[in-house]
Amino acid sequence: MKSFKKILSLSLIILNIFISVPFALTNDNLELNWYFVKREQGKTPEAPKESISFLKDCDGFYVGDTNSKVVYLTFDQGYENGNTNIILDTLKEEDIKAAFFVVKPYIKQEGEIVKRMVDEGHLVCNHSSHHPSMASIRDKDKFKLEFTEVEEEFKNLTGKDMPKYFRPPMGKYSKFSLNETKNLGYKTIFWSFAYKDWLRDDQPSESYATEKILNGVHPGAIILLHSVSSTNTKILKNIIKELKNQGYEFKTLDELPTA
């Protein structure tokens, strides 16, 4: 009986090793979805509990300087809906510099708009070549290609190197993907405010969107808007003016805190 118990105990130990080792090897590859936990108005939202422990080490940002009334305005450019030049007009009139995250097809199809962004001092940043979940790509060469194809297209168009900021498509990521992004020299830019603005045929009202955005702003906010939104385009100037009236300053991703 004692011999049987020893064998059983040893078997359980071996089984635990085989169960835990694969988990340890694959846990960093677990696909996560970015979200933020909103607190009371004007307070910094909380980051996801799943990734807060490693976000900073992976050069991941969802807020900037939370000790000052500053905001960072960013747009995701999946495709063109006729709004971006109007948005750029507004930003120029208000002397605001923003970051535009673009995919490779956008650069190819909307070269004049991209060149205008650059010429007017905005950051044109990487949003991947094919808009996949980066957490789903385990092959390092394929992972890198999602970055380099966009970089090459951008440089061919503008003659400039692309700024090293990356927004994961759909907000999907893993610890592995964040580390690989960092290894490619990029900072990962999430957000501390976003709302449902990307459905072209189901746009929120201007009053709803204005209230939603203004209530979601806080010191150090990285604001994500989608340029396909006709509502965003219409209310952008008023949003900017109101935030300025509240004492907010607009900064660029180049001015994110380094410590």
Give the pLDDT score at 259: 63
Rounded Cα distance between 103 and 58, Å, is 22
Q: Do residues 172 and 103 both lie within one domain?
A: yes
pTM for the full model?
Answer: 0.89
Q: 18 with 83, same domain?
A: no
From the list 71, 66, 68, 113, the residue with the least C-alpha distance to 225 is 71
Q: What is the model's pLDDT at position 18?
A: 36
Q: Total structural domains in the chain?
A: 2
3-class secondary-structure state, position 253: helix
* 211 lies in the same domain as 154: yes
By the 8 A CB rule, do 102 and 127 touch? Answer: yes
Residues 13 and 48 in one domain: no
Based on the fold, state whether residues 12 and 67 are members of the same structural domain: no
Residues 15 and 39 in one domain: no
List, in order, residues 6 or more apart from 242 with CB less than 8 Å away: 214
Which residue ranges in the chain fall short of pLDDT 50?
Answer: 1-2, 4-26
Phi, psi of 237 (to 5 degrees): -60, -45
Please list the active-site residues: 76, 226
Do 84 and 197 sit in the same domain of this protein?
yes
Are 118 and 21 within one domain? no
Q: Are 166 and 147 in contact (CB under 8 A)?
A: yes
Same domain, residue pair 18 and 73: no
How far apart (Å, rounded) are the C-alpha atoms in residues 72 and 219? 10
100 and 187 part of one domain:
yes
| Residue 91 shares a structural domain with residue 178 | yes
- Residues 140-144: contacts with CB under 8 Å, at least 24 apart: 140/180, 143/177, 143/180, 144/180, 144/184
Q: Distance between CA atoms of 105 and 237, rounded to whole angstroms? A: 28
Residue type, 46: E
Strands 99-102 and 70-77: parallel
CATH, residue 122: 3.20.20.370
Q: Which domain holds residue 25?
A: 1-29
**109 and 5 fall within a common domain:** no
Give pLDDT, residue 4.
40
CA distance 3 to 24: 32
Q: How far is Cα 16 from Cα 12, in angstroms, rounded to an integer?
A: 6
Contacts of 65 (CB under 8 A, 6+ apart): 219, 220, 251, 256, 257
d(CA 201, CA 132): 23
